[in-house]
Chain A
Amino acid sequence: MNPSGLPPLASLPGPQIRAVHDELHGDLLELSMGPHHPSTHGVFRMVVTLDGETVVKLKPVFGYLHRNHEKIAEGASYLGSMPYTDRLDYLCSMTNNWSYALAVERLAGQAVSERAEYVRVILAELTRLLNHTCLAGFLLQDGGASGTPLMYAFREREKILDLFESLSGSRMMCNYQRFGGCRADPSPAWLDSARALVDGYGRFLDEYEALLTGNEILMARTQGIGRLSPQLAVSAGVTGPMLRAAGVGYDIRKVDGYGFYPRFTFRVPIGADGDTYDRYMVRILEMRESIGILRQALRDIPAGPILDPKAKQRGLRPKAGEVYSRIEGPKGEIGFFLISDGGPNPYRYRVRPPSLINLTILEDMCLGQSIADSVVILGSVDIVLGEVDR
């Protein structure tokens, strides 16, 4: 009855480590880490039960940032939800925009111009660079490095944000994609500065890796820590670099081939052990692939309109129906499920938040590890609370 090798029903959450607590071993210590804690990446709480320093139980608690994004969007027009998607995963507004625009385009049957597709790929890959760079910095911060990797990451991130700002007018809340294209046309000068950035990024990654990848302390802290089996990863809906680090080569850019990704050659790095080090390294390698995609896209980008002037933005009333559409965001599968009843605002609007779903197996990964590792494991999951809580 279980040919796919997936975990049977017995592998449900629950403490898998039996904690010994008698007179010799003493009591268990329950520690509420968060919501105000330096390493929970925002207002996130982990109720951790410790046996010494070993985690025997861990329950994530969130919702502190909950604003019912979905309810707000159901009361807003289709266009009016676009700026709210910026605020889900506020590191990756461009990919959130794209995913939402793609969902509405599929719902309303709107075609996208060729130049806009290229610009979307460029921006999505820049977002991936930005997100993964920051993640490596945050991960090392969680591992106790005094901010140096993080500051180097932010130094490079700033360059990407400058590009976003000069194109969309805002550094993080870009609100850039529109149904049927993009809002502003990148100038030749913008494309040139993007090329310059992409050309310099490989050098930065080399320096970054010299600082981190060969570091014995980093290896000792991450290798063999927080292992995730491919079966559990797939069953738990883990997506993105985390899934690939667990050894499953599933990349929506390849599987769905949305946008113009089939036109570009790139490889999908996969890990073997599914531990924290693999999650870190897969992201580093993905950045190198992203640089390749960016080179191709910036070389091939055609001239033409960026947005179909007839494409309806305001007062869009898609035909009644529903759509689920997803893209490969930097954190995983970011999808939008929309139901239209023919009205000016969606009847049902749902975000599939990769950060939240990747957290499902946090306890499984942390059990039996030390409390210091649980922080690093959380860092390697790569969550943004704006998206977890919505």
Chain B
Amino acid sequence: MSAGPTDAHLLERAPFLLRDWLTHALPEPLRWFANTLIAIAAILAIFGTLFALLTLVERKVLGRVQNRPGPNRTGWFGILQPVADGIKMLTKEDIVPRAADPLLHFLAPVALLGFSVLTFAVIPYGRDLVAVRLDAGVLYFFAAGSATELSIFMAGWSSNNKYALVAAMRALAQLISYELPLLLSAVPVVLAAGTLSAPDIVESQGGFTWGFVPHWHVFTPWGAAAFLVFFISALSESNRSPFDLPEAESELIAGHLTEYSGFKYALFFMAEYFGMCSLCGMAVTLFLGGWQAPLAALEFIPSYAWFALKLCALLLVFIWIRATLPRLRMDQLTRFAWKFLVPLALVNLAASAFWSLSFGWAGPMQALRWAIGIALAVGPFVLLGRRLGAGIGPRTYRYA
């Protein structure tokens, strides 16, 4: 994290001013170290709070969708519910089955949390607000993110429980299936931006057409398709409904969490929400213009606020989907990945290549460019969707 922007106004610079005020007295080598520590602490604190709030918001939204108020007994509007849950989790007995592998059983939640926190390092939360400015930041993100599934396998296998074992197997199959479309859907963005660095990808989405259509990738035909693929894969990567197979409570009790209790159990949840947040953050970065404002007139609002807004909106969609959809089956899940998402992402690669090549088309050629672009995005979607959905459909019934 380098020095903050100097030309922006006060609110935009506020995080840097605060940091510099805290560390300006230190000698230079130590200041770098302290600045890094502060960045880590800030990320942990902010996302820790977000996790707590998110559990509450999720239950509140689920409740409202289901015509009930959700938790509302602890504090005003149930605001203390996360605290109460935390205390409960901390004070609960931590049970380790006798037949479990105690070391792995302990390591799994720790490693899971560690890996999911690592992904926060490369997400640009605002203008210049990124913990580690890596040239291959996107690559790093996916590498760190895919390690979480390993921890789920560790948890499932070490529990020595049949449900947990089945869940572990599912987690691995899911990892293999969905890592590919997730990566493939990010490739067009890298292609378009010409960089693997997350802050630079955000920078490349700056500017507006006609002053009000932002140059976000999601507003291009290939970008919309890639965003869809990325979003679906992100749902699966973060084990969220309708892809929450490793912890499918209706068949596998709690999947890999069956033998966990107390704070270890809470760590799994924390990691799940961290993973969800970081994937949403990456989706915002890659497709929704990162911290860029949607309108030029709104640029006075600090960049990190825009990022937070977009992040929360995506998280709400996650919750909304969870409130609505039933779960897929394991074979359907993998079939969906291999027969729908991967081909779609591959075709989309061509679509984005076409988009880059036709950059200079103007006038009537511009309309042709859009037509071809949309056809390249929608055509495969319809064709692949038809094939995937062959054999199922609404039925008509007769009466005796």
- Asked if A144 and B66 sit within 8 Å, CB to CB, the answer is no
B128 CB, nearest partner CB in chain A, Å: 39
- Asked if A151 and B391 sit within 8 Å, CB to CB, the answer is no
- Asked if B400 and A39 sit within 8 Å, CB to CB, the answer is no
- Asked if A215 and B67 sit within 8 Å, CB to CB, the answer is no
A201 CB, nearest partner CB in chain B, Å: 16
In this complex, what residue of A is CB-closest to B400? A249
In this complex, what residue of A is CB-closest to B62? A146
* CB pairs A–B below 8 angstroms (16 shown): A31-B163, A31-B166, A140-B326, A141-B250, A144-B250, A155-B67, A216-B392, A219-B393, A244-B400, A250-B400, A269-B397, A269-B399, A272-B395, A277-B395, A370-B331, A373-B329
Report chain B residues within 8 Å CB of A268. 399-400
- A255-294 vs B, Cβ < 8 Å mask (1 yes, 0 no): 0000000000001111111000110011001000000000
B277 CB, nearest partner CB in chain A, Å: 20
Among B248, B331, B392, B397, residue most surrounded by chain A Cβ atoms (within 10 Å): B397
- Asked if A270 and B398 sit within 8 Å, CB to CB, the answer is yes
Report chain A residues within 8 Å CB of B373. none
B: which residues have CB within 8 A of A? 62, 65-68, 162-163, 165-166, 241-242, 244-245, 248-251, 253, 322-332, 389, 391-395, 397-400
Query: If the complex has contacts A372-B330, A375-B251, are A270 and B242 also in contact, measured as CB distance less than 8 A?
Result: no
Report chain A residues within 8 Å CB of B245. 372
Q: How far is it, in angstroms, between the C-alpha of A83 and the C-alpha of B250 when the chains are bound?
A: 33
- A149-160 vs B, Cβ < 8 Å mask (1 yes, 0 no): 001100100000
Query: If the complex has contacts A146-B322, A146-B323, are A372 and B397 also in contact, measured as CB distance less than 8 A?
Result: no
Report chain A residues within 8 Å CB of B329. 220-221, 370, 372-373
Report chain B residues within 8 Å CB of A224. 391-392
A52 CB, nearest partner CB in chain B, Å: 8
- Asked if A145 and B326 sit within 8 Å, CB to CB, the answer is yes
10 closest cross-chain pairs (CB), A and B = A249-B400, A144-B327, A151-B66, A143-B326, A267-B399, A145-B326, A268-B400, A39-B250, A219-B392, A223-B392
Q: How far is it, in angstroms, between the C-alpha of A269 and the C-alpha of B242 when the chains are bound?
A: 31
Does A196 count as interface, using CB distance less than 8 angstroms?
A: no
Report chain A residues within 8 Å CB of B66. 147-148, 151-152
A329 CB, nearest partner CB in chain B, Å: 18
Report chain A residues within 8 Å CB of B251. 33, 39, 371-372, 374-375
Q: How far is it, in angstroms, between the C-alpha of A220 and the C-alpha of B397 when the chains are bound?
A: 18
A25 CB, nearest partner CB in chain B, Å: 14
- Asked if A370 and B330 sit within 8 Å, CB to CB, the answer is yes
Among A140, A221, A254, residue most surrounded by chain B Cβ atoms (within 10 Å): A221
In this complex, what residue of B is CB-closest to A38? B249
A138 CB, nearest partner CB in chain B, Å: 10
Which residue of A38, A148, A251 contacts B253 across the interface (Cβ within 8 Å)? Answer: A38
- Asked if B241 and A146 sit within 8 Å, CB to CB, the answer is yes
Extra contacts besides A31-B163, A221-B326, A375-B250 (16): CB < 8 Å? A29-B165, A140-B326, A142-B250, A144-B242, A145-B325, A145-B327, A151-B68, A152-B67, A217-B325, A221-B329, A223-B391, A273-B395, A281-B395, A370-B330, A372-B245, A372-B250
- A183-198 vs B, Cβ < 8 Å mask (1 yes, 0 no): 0000000000000000
Which residue of A213, A215, A273 contacts B325 across the interface (Cβ within 8 Å)? Answer: A215
A275 CB, nearest partner CB in chain B, Å: 10
Does A214 count as interface, using CB distance less than 8 angstroms?
A: yes
Report chain B residues within 8 Å CB of A148. 62, 65-66, 323-324
Does A37 count as interface, using CB distance less than 8 angstroms?
A: yes
Query: If the complex has contacts A53-B166, A244-B400, A249-B400, are A144 and B326 also in contact, measured as CB distance less than 8 A?
Result: yes
In this complex, what residue of B is CB-closest to A244? B400
Does A218 count as interface, using CB distance less than 8 angstroms?
A: yes
Q: How far is it, in angstroms, between the C-alpha of A18 and the C-alpha of B326 when the chains are bound?
A: 31
Report chain B residues within 8 Å CB of A270. 397-400
Report chain A residues within 8 Å CB of B393. 219, 223
A: which residues have CB within 8 A of B? 29, 31, 33, 37-39, 50, 53, 140-148, 151-152, 155, 211, 213-221, 223-224, 244, 249-251, 254, 267-273, 277-278, 281-282, 285, 370-375
Report chain A residues within 8 Å CB of B253. 37-38
Q: How far is it, in angstroms, between the C-alpha of A102 and the C-alpha of B39 when the chains are bound?
A: 76
Q: How far is it, in angstroms, between the C-alpha of A341 and the C-alpha of B397 when the chains are bound?
A: 48
In this complex, what residue of A is CB-closest to B389? A216
Among B67, B68, B322, B398, residue most surrounded by chain A Cβ atoms (within 10 Å): B398
In this complex, what residue of B is CB-closest to A145? B326
Q: How far is it, in angstroms, between the C-alpha of A206 and the C-alpha of B392 when the chains are bound?
A: 21
In this complex, what residue of B is CB-closest to A282? B397
Q: How far is it, in angstroms, between the C-alpha of A220 and the C-alpha of B68 when the chains are bound?
A: 30
Report chain A residues within 8 Å CB of B324. 145, 148, 211
Q: How far is it, in angstroms, between the C-alpha of A262 and the C-alpha of B245 when the chains are bound?
A: 48
Report chain B residues within 8 Å CB of A50. 166
B335 CB, nearest partner CB in chain A, Å: 9
Report chain B residues within 8 Å CB of A146. 62, 241, 322-323
Report chain A residues within 8 Å CB of B397. 269-272, 281-282, 285
Report chain A residues within 8 Å CB of B65. 148
A286 CB, nearest partner CB in chain B, Å: 10
Q: How far is it, in angstroms, between the C-alpha of A269 and the C-alpha of B396 when the chains are bound?
A: 10
B381 CB, nearest partner CB in chain A, Å: 14
- Asked if A213 and B62 sit within 8 Å, CB to CB, the answer is no
Q: How far is it, in angstroms, between the C-alpha of A53 and the C-alpha of B334 when the chains are bound?
A: 14
Q: How far is it, in angstroms, between the C-alpha of A50 and the C-alpha of B252 when the chains are bound?
A: 13
In this complex, what residue of B is CB-closest to A270? B400
Q: How far is it, in angstroms, between the C-alpha of A320 and the C-alpha of B250 when the chains are bound?
A: 50
- Asked if B326 and A217 sit within 8 Å, CB to CB, the answer is yes
Report chain A residues within 8 Å CB of B162. 29, 31
Q: How far is it, in angstroms, between the C-alpha of A113 and the C-alpha of B327 when the chains are bound?
A: 50
Q: How far is it, in angstroms, between the C-alpha of A219 and the C-alpha of B165 when the chains are bound?
A: 28
In this complex, what residue of A is CB-closest to B323? A148
Report chain A residues within 8 Å CB of B331. 53, 370
Q: How far is it, in angstroms, between the C-alpha of A372 and the C-alpha of B397 when the chains are bound?
A: 26
In this complex, what residue of B is CB-closest to A277? B395
In this complex, what residue of A is CB-closest to B328? A217
Which residue of B62, B392, B399 contacts A220 across the interface (Cβ within 8 Å)? Answer: B392
Query: If the complex has contacts A38-B249, A223-B392, A224-B391, are A218 and B326 also in contact, measured as CB distance less than 8 A?
Result: yes
Q: How far is it, in angstroms, between the C-alpha of A216 and the C-alpha of B250 when the chains are bound?
A: 19
Q: How far is it, in angstroms, between the C-alpha of A267 and the C-alpha of B328 when the chains are bound?
A: 34
Report chain B residues within 8 Å CB of A220. 328-329, 332, 389, 392
In this complex, what residue of B is CB-closest to A219? B392
Report chain B residues within 8 Å CB of A221. 326-329, 332
Report chain B residues within 8 Å CB of A216. 389, 392
A243 CB, nearest partner CB in chain B, Å: 11
A150 CB, nearest partner CB in chain B, Å: 8
Report chain B residues within 8 Å CB of A151. 66-68
In this complex, what residue of B is CB-closest to A289? B399
Report chain A residues within 8 Å CB of B389. 216, 220
B22 CB, nearest partner CB in chain A, Å: 43
